[in-house]
């Protein structure tokens, strides 16, 4: 399959074979992504000159109605999306977060637009205010649609939800969208975009897609445009200092890495509902999407006198998780997204093992209904440290996979201090 890129109201096929995208479980080629031949300046012009005016001609309520119609159409097609989502390594439950969550988000913005915004093209922010003693000078603040394009650069782990959560508010605001999904799972985002375009529900130019490189698109941005990026802090750092963004004051929004922690309170003891829920949630966060979530729990902070019992409970629960082919209904965790990600996660595990004790990792790992060599499978791995201050890497390295570390704390203040050491954007073992 040769992926096509929707731009300027037409489908363009890359001339070269582009970047091969593989099935996460089997390693088979799903498609090739390429943006060769796309005119990025024309894409932006099409968005600004065709898509933008068409959207701005509609009221908030009319745009909300469009979003509701799009969400309904996507809901009708969700089984098609589920079928392809397996190839990203996602189980049915993983895909539900991505697909159902994404469609639900579009419905939510449609509802907010119709209930909370006026049936107008302008949003009034406060009443008219007098600015002179005689009342000859007054002012009122209003919101109107920006006259540029919203460029959305998305991460690989949620190709549907990650795209739709940005798409919906932009369309509601009357701003046309150019979507650039992460290449490794671009085939799923492409299918969703293709179905939206085929529905004919949106005005021409309201939604465009780039699979592969963004080429020279940044060179053509202006002050009316917005770039929204989701991915690694390293990539965000490079993009935000692009000369064009600085020269033209282009809005740049970044959602980047995080090294999250979950703290077990001192009064949550073994046998209590709180303790059991804590264990369940840590295991769930480690294994959903094979741990490839920016919200996944990486550091499990527990009272020092409970570190052994928490570790034992987590090991017992993790040993019950079946890893394998995501299409197999008995499987609880699928593979990582590709071989490169597996290599990076394995490297991160090796690095952490120098500072932490391995509490759990299947010694004879064999994925269910899958070839362990062909797929990007990594077993859940649990580490344990005795003193967070002597294991700095635990608070600095985010292994973007099914990996977590049990970290003891002595006091409530100590737990807060350890949590804060994770910072906002630590080094990640693999880019998004």
3-state secondary structure of 411: coil
Instruction: Please report how many Cα atoms fall inside a 13 Å half-sphere around the Cα of residue 129, on the Cβ side.
Output: 8
Q: What sign has the CA pseudo-torsion 185, 182, 172, 47?
A: negative
Tabulate helix, strand, coil % of the chain (nearest 5): 40, 20, 40
Helix (H) / strand (E) element for 412: namely helix 412-420
Phi-psi region of 89 (alpha: psi -120 to 50; beta: other; left: phi over 0): left
CA 300 to chain CA centroid, Å, is 22
Cα distance between residue 107 and residue 103, in whole Å:
6
Radius of gyration from C-alpha coordinates of the chain: 24
Helix (H) / strand (E) element for 279: namely helix 273-287
Which sequence positions are flagged as catalytic? 255, 294
CA 216 to chain CA centroid, Å, is 24
Cα distance between residue 305 and residue 342, in whole Å:
34
| DSSP type of residue 88 | G
Cα distance between residue 336 and residue 314, in whole Å:
21
Decide: 311 and 317 in contact? Cβ < 8 Å: no
CA dist list (Å): 393 to 65, 294, 351, 378, 417: 49, 18, 8, 21, 15
Q: How many CB atoms lie within 10 A of CB 368?
A: 14
| DSSP type of residue 319 | T
Decide: 345 and 422 in contact? Cβ < 8 Å: no
């Amino acid at each position: 399959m040769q992926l096509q890129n929707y731009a300027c109201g037409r489908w363009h096929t890359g001339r070269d074979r582009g970047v091969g995208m593989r099935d996460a479980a089997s390693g088979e080629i799903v498609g090739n992504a390429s943006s060769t031949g796309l005119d990025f300046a024309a894409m932006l012009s099409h968005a600004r000159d065709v898509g933008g005016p068409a959207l701005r001609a509609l009221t908030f309520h009319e745009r909300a109605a469009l979003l509701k119609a799009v969400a309904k159409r996507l809901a009708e097609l969700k089984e098609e999306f589920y079928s392809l989502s397996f190839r990203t390594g996602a189980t049915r439950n993983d895909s539900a977060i991505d697909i159902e969550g994404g469609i639900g988000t579009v419905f939510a913005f449609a509802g907010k637009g119709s209930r909370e915004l006026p049936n107008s093209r302008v949003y009034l922010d406060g009443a008219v205010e007098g600015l002179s003693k005689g009342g000859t000078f007054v002012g009122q603040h209003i919101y109107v649609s920006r006259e540029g394009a919203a460029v959305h650069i998305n991460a690989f782990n949620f190709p549907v939800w990650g795209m739709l959560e940005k798409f919906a508010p932009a369309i509601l605001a009357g701003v046309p969208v150019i979507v650039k999904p992460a290449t490794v799972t671009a085939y799923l985002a492409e299918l969703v975009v293709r179905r939206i375009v085929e529905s004919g529900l949106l005005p021409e130019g309201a939604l465009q897609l780039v699979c592969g490189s963004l080429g020279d698109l940044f060179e053509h941005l202006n002050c009316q445009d917005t770039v929204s990026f989701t991915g690694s802090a390293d990539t965000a750092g490079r993009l935000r200092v692009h000369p064009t963004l600085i020269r033209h004051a282009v809005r740049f929004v970044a959602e980047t890495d995080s090294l999250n922690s979950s703290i077990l309170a001192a009064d949550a003891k073994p046998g209590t509902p709180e303790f059991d829920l804590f264990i369940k949630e840590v295991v769930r966060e480690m294994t959903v999407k094979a741990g490839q979530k920016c919200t996944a729990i990486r550091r499990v902070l527990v009272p020092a006198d409970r570190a052994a019992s928490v570790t034992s409970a987590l090991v017992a629960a993790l040993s019950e998780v079946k890893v394998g082919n995501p299409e197999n209904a008995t499987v609880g965790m699928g593979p990582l997204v590709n071989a490169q990600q597996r290599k990076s996660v394995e490297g991160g595990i090796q690095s952490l093992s120098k500072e932490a004790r391995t509490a759990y990792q299947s010694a004879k790992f064999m994925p269910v209904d899958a070839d362990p060599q062909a797929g990007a499978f990594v077993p859940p791995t649990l580490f344990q440290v005795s003193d967070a201050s002597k294991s700095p890497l635990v608070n600095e390295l985010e292994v973007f996979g099914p990996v977590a570390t049990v970290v003891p704390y002595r006091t409530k203040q100590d737990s807060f201090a350890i949590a804060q050491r994770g910072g906002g954007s630590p080094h990640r073992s693999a880019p998004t």
